[in-house]
């Protein structure tokens, strides 16, 4: 006896297999369009994948929870990927030593700029406190940002969305901004992308050059650490007034 399409759908909708496959396929489709367009920054693979997946989930009436049952296997890899950042960090150690002072200075200035500009603009435009706290860590990679948001009273899942959006924005605007500001040094470009736009920016930076990518990965790791240390202190100082 042959199963009805409905029976098959019931099985697929309940198993992680379908949504895991869909996540990878949507990303490949995004990546294909991105390459096909001659790497136009606006056709960001993550953005395309999200649009495809949200459309499918809304059309089929699937909840985010049941989607995440499958997608969690991909999401989980963010943890090990964060650990793996230690490797390019270590590999770039000799270069980093040469620009150690400027890097540390740029990290301190950039990390504070990311936090203060986001909270400042949000506050000036009247965002609520939980929204501000969700917004504050948006420049660092997802697992770190979610951990910070939880500690300072934001909504971790909203933070995740804001982090991804920031990454896409950073990846889209970076090269345009560097042309405008005449920043040509690859190490500097990479560092600025990594501080502002974490992993999605880093993926973009690797397309510019190996050096840009490595410095972006470095800055992403350092800014994760810096923001995790700085933000709770800043919030305490700010909240205490």
Which 2-21 positions form the footprint of other proteins (CB under 8 A)? none
Least Å from the CB of residue 63 to other proteins: 9
Please, which of residues 63-82 interact with other proteins by CB under 8 A?
A: 64, 67-68, 71-72, 74-75, 77-82
Cβ-proximal residues to 147 (8 Å cutoff; 6+ apart), any chain:
156, 228
32 binds other proteins (CB under 8 A): no
Cα angle for residues 198, 203, 207 (degrees, 5° grid): 135
Classified as helix, coil or strand, 70 is: helix
208 binds other proteins (CB under 8 A): no
Q: How far apart are CA 34 and CA 192, in angstroms?
A: 23
Q: Which of 105, 129, 179, 239 binds other proteins (CB under 8 A)?
A: 105
Return the number of the residue (7 or 75) whose C-beta is nearest other proteins. Answer: 75
Q: How far apart are CA 103 and CA 109, in angstroms?
A: 10
Return the number of the residue (14 or 79) whose C-beta is nearest other proteins. Answer: 79
Least Å from the CB of residue 113 to other proteins: 5
- Closest among 13, 42, 16, 47 to 29, alpha carbons compared: 47
43 binds other proteins (CB under 8 A): no
173 binds other proteins (CB under 8 A): yes
Least Å from the CB of residue 38 to other proteins: 18
Q: How far apart are CA 120 and CA 152, in angstroms?
A: 16
Q: What is the 3-state secondary structure (H, E, C) of 86-115?
A: HHHHHHCHHHHHHCHHHHHHHHHHHHHHHH
Site map for other proteins, 216-235, x if CB under 8 A?
A: -x-x-x--xx--xx--x---
């Amino acid at each position: 006896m042959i199963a009805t399409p409905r029976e098959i759908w019931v099985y697929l909708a309940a198993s992680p297999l379908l949504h895991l496959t869909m996540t990878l396929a949507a990303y490949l489709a995004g990546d294909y369009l991105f390459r096909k367009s001659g790497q136009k920054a606006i056709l960001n693979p993550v953005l395309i994948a999200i649009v495809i997946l949200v459309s499918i989930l809304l059309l089929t009436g699937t909840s985010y929870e049941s989607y995440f049952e499958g997608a969690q296997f991909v999401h989980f890899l963010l943890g090990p990927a964060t650990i793996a950042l230690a490797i390019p960090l270590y590999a770039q150690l000799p270069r980093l030593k040469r620009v150690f002072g400027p890097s540390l200075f740029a990290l301190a200035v950039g990390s504070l700029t990311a936090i203060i500009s986001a909270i400042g603009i949000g506050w000036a435009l009247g965002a609520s406190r939980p929204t501000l706290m969700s917004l504050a860590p948006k420049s660092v990679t997802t697992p770190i940002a979610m951990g910070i948001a939880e500690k300072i009273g934001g909504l971790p899942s909203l933070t995740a969305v804001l982090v991804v959006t920031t990454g896409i924005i950073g990846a889209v605007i970076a090269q345009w901004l560097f042309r405008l500001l005449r920043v040509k040094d690859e190490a500097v470009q990479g560092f600025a992308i990594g501080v502002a736009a974490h992993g999605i920016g880093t993926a973009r930076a690797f397309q510019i050059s190996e050096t840009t990518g490595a410095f972006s990965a470095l800055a992403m790791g350092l800014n994760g650490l810096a923001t995790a240390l700085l933000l709770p202190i800043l919030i305490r100082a700010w909240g205490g007034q």
